[in-house]
Amino acid sequence: MEAPVTSREQRHYLRAVSMVGACLATTTAGTVYLFSTYGPALSQQLGLNSTQTNIVAISANYGLLLSGPFFGWAADTVGPQMLSVFAAVGSFTAFSALAYTYDGELGLYGGWPVLALYMVLVGLSAQAANMAAVTTTTKNFKQNRGGAVSLCIAFFGLSPFVLSHINTMFFATGDTPNTFGYLRFLSFLGLATSMVAALSLAVVGPGPSRYHREIPPGFMVDESISSSSSSSSSSSGLLSFASHGDEERALMARSHYHADLRSPGPSYSAVIKGGLAGNPYGQPHDAPRLSASGEGSSFSSSTAAQQTRQQQPLHGQPFISADGIDYDTARNLGGLSYIQDPEAQLLALVLFLCAGIGVFYNNNVGTVVNALYYSSTEHPNHSAAQRLINHHVAVVSLGSFIGRLSIGFVADACKRVWRLPRSGILVLVTLSVVVSQVVVGAADTLPTLLVGSALTGLSYGFVFGFVPTLVSIWFGTLHFGSNWGLASAFIGFSGQGLGAFFGHIYDRNLPDQDPAKCTKGRCYHDAFRLSLVVALLGLCAAVVLARRRATRRRQNRHLWEAEEVEHVEYVPFILAE
């Protein structure tokens, strides 16, 4: 729900509290990536083969990703509190069931598919917590949205790093790891953090613009638009130039914006600077004026509209279309219009291919470490093997955390310093996925695999930290929860496909499931060759998307799109909160 606030100080305080709650919520969501820390012990205890283990592991990702559209809609509709409560109850129930099944107190009735159902509940709880956190953060921050969302998502990736170290220090100290105690710990952790998040998460909103009382010199609010409401002059964001008392010299741009209905102020608006020299309409009496008819408003002068079509926009100024609309803001797409948009489809394809690789590696890194450890050690120890697995999971998690946290700031810096568009940065992000799979596929020792784990985690963090920002910038925040849920819904299928192929290759080469016979990883290398092909396909999709957006920029050099052009000279009538 939206928190009732009356002052900027209150909004800042509530945003800070909500940000803490969001980080706690994504900490709970990060437990979905911990299967490798308890999966091998669980599989050995219950007698599962590699294929069955992969299906159980990927079930959590099905719950996480396929529920994205629903929980995104719920976050936009009912707010984050109910989602956090569901995450608390679901996480506690799922990990408790796994713990007592491992211990034998809860029978495995129905066989290993029951474990898959428990993991689905783990994924559902994680998605509920994640959507509550990310959607709330996206709606609470405007100017610093990229950094705020990156920080929130970074805790999603950091959670396995911290929890795997806790497993190593407290639950894998003897000759046999205490898997039961570790699973019980995860159940209570999910309950506690999600309940705290339920109490602290709130959509605060951006508040009114700080510019509505201090209008820049030479500008005035157009009374013909704002007369319908006593407060609309401060909320409409429309200014007209009035110099020397001549209001007819006004050159006014109406922002194609759709403000968040829960936010009390405008999302974005901008007005061209200048007087007669900056007026592409020529004489003052030719300047168009907007009617007060809202979204469908038109110019009152057909002559001005005709001149608009014929007049080329000046360098350094936004292109104003014949209906008086400038395109400074993102398109607010949702539902069918979002699904049918070619750029949204390409972005979802990139996410499907590249993020699926991260899901696949997270679920199978324990098996890979076991194979390399047992095949290269004369006197292996189960706890030592578990500590090695925890170490690799921690490295993947730390890389993911760094990638998620840094990509927003790196992307902003690249745009400001080198004017590299975000679509170009996406190509570099997918290239990092390709590099990680080259290293992992060539790894035949544990130290080399550790480098591959770090690169895989880093590239996975880049993808999951950057794509949500692109969704919010390119397609708006009004339907962000639903859009992000749709974009990420099918990642589990690519991860499942790669995981199933890995399990098939592993079981075919090691029918007795003895990792000591898998010399230098030869029993699974074919699976990473396939993941490399998938990464290359993701890179191709990113290049096609970048070329499409480059074509858009070439055709509309003066089209104002906030995600592509930041150097245009304008008066920012933005929310400064």
Label each residue of 52-70 as H, E or C.
Answer: HHHHHHHHHHHHHHHCHHH
What pLDDT score was predicted for residue 206?
56
Give the tens place of pLDDT for each residue, 91-100: 999 999 999 9
What pLDDT score was predicted for residue 299?
36
- C-alpha span between 293 and 288 (Å, rounded): 15
Bridge partners of 221, per DSSP, are: 239
Report whether pLDDT(309) > 90: no
Going along the chain from its start, the domains and CATH numbers come out as: 8-206+334-555 (1.20.1250.20), 219-326+568-572 (no CATH)
For residue 329, give the H/E element and its range: none
Nearest in space to 97 (alpha carbons), one of 164, 18, 184: 184
Determine the Cα angle at 396 with ends 129 and 41, to 5°.
Answer: 80
Nearest in space to 278 (alpha carbons), one of 310, 253, 305: 253
What pLDDT score was predicted for residue 435?
96
What pLDDT score was predicted for residue 191?
93
CB 466 within 8 A of CB 53: no
User: Which tops the pLDDT comparison, 368 or 263?
Assistant: 368
- CA 294 to chain CA centroid, nearest Å: 33
Per-residue exposure over 481-513, b if at least 16 CB sit within 10 Å of its own CB, e if not? bbbbbbbbbbbbbbbbebbbbbbebbbeebeeb
Confidence of residue 545 (pLDDT cuts 50, 70, 90): very high
Q: Is 2 helix (H, G, I), strand (E, B) or coil?
A: strand
- C-alpha span between 36 and 427 (Å, rounded): 30
What pLDDT score was predicted for residue 320?
35
**Cα radius of gyration rounded to whole Å, the chain:** 27
Torsion of CA 353, 74, 563, 219, to 10 degrees: 180
Identify which of 203-207, 299-303, 314-318, 571-575 has the greatest average pLDDT.
203-207
User: Which tops the pLDDT comparison, 566 or 354?
Assistant: 354
Q: Please report the DSSP string for 345-413 in residue order.
A: HHHHHHHHHHHHHHHHHHHHHHHHHHHHHHHH-SS--HHHHHHHHHHHHHHHHHHHHHHHHHHHHHHHH
Give the tens place of pLDDT for each residue, 471-498: 888 887 778 878 888 888 878 788 878 9
What pLDDT score was predicted for residue 116?
92
Cβ-in-10-Å burial (0-12, 13-18, 19+) of 166 comes to middle
Give the tens place of pLDDT for each residue, 335-367: 888 888 899 999 999 999 999 898 899 888 988
Give the tens place of pLDDT for each residue, 24-75: 888 778 888 888 889 888 888 888 888 888 889 888 888 887 888 899 888 8
The whole-chain average pLDDT of the chain stands at 74
What pLDDT score was predicted for residue 557?
55
For β-strands 254-255 and 571-572, DSSP reports them as unpaired
What pLDDT score was predicted for residue 475?
83
Q: Which amino acid is at 47?
A: G
Give the tens place of pLDDT for each residue, 212-259: 444 444 444 444 433 333 333 333 333 333 333 443 333 333 333 333
Please report the beta strands in 380-513, taking only residues with DSSP state E, as ranges in sequence order: none
Confidence of residue 308 (pLDDT cuts 50, 70, 90): very low
Stretch 431-457: mean pLDDT, rounded?
94
Bridge partners of 116, per DSSP, are: none
